[in-house]
Amino acid sequence: AQSVSQHNHHVILSEAASLELGCNYSYGGTVNLFWYVQYPGQHLQLLLKYFSGDPLVKGIKGFEAEFIKSKFSFNLRKPSVQWSDTAEYFCAVNARTGFQKLVFGTGTRLLVSP
């Protein structure tokens, strides 16, 4: 069975600081990888996704993530965070074979102080 681990449950940063949120998954086969974001009071939105090709994926709002297959990781990064990035971030994985159930991590709550 697949599983997803997000190492940081809470992160507090000042504006302009750099961000890296860890995500590791366990699954032996080929996967698709996602980062979703949930802003306060809003619904889950897709931030970025990786299916194939360049392992460095660019998403919305200046976010990017790098797929490192050998480490089973898909860490999310942003060079300079803003107060508006305060949200909860979820990493998710689904396997390419069989029914494509999406498995989520527990989420990382990011607070950016102005």
Partner 1 sequence: ETGVTQTPRHLVMGMTNKKSLKCEQHLGHNAMYWYKQSAKKPLELMFVYSLEERVENNSVPSRFSPECPNSSHLFLHLHTLQPEDSALYLCASSQDIPSGRSSSYNEQFFGPGTRLTVL
Q: Which long-range contacts (CB under 8 A, 24 or more apart) does 36-39 make?
A: 36/89, 36/90, 36/92, 36/104, 37/87, 37/88, 37/89, 37/90, 38/87, 38/88, 38/89, 38/90, 38/107, 39/86, 39/87
Residue 27 or residue 104: which is nearer to partner 1 going by CB? 104
The answer to whether 99 contacts partner 1 (rule: CB under 8 A) is yes
Q: How far is the CB of 66 from partner 1 (least distance, A)?
A: 19
Q: Is residue 52 at the binding interface for partner 1, with CB under 8 A as the rule?
A: yes
Contact residue for partner 1 among 18, 45, 82, 113 (CB under 8 A): 45
- Interface with partner 1 (CB under 8 A): 4, 9, 32, 34, 36, 42-46, 49, 51-52, 90, 94, 96-107
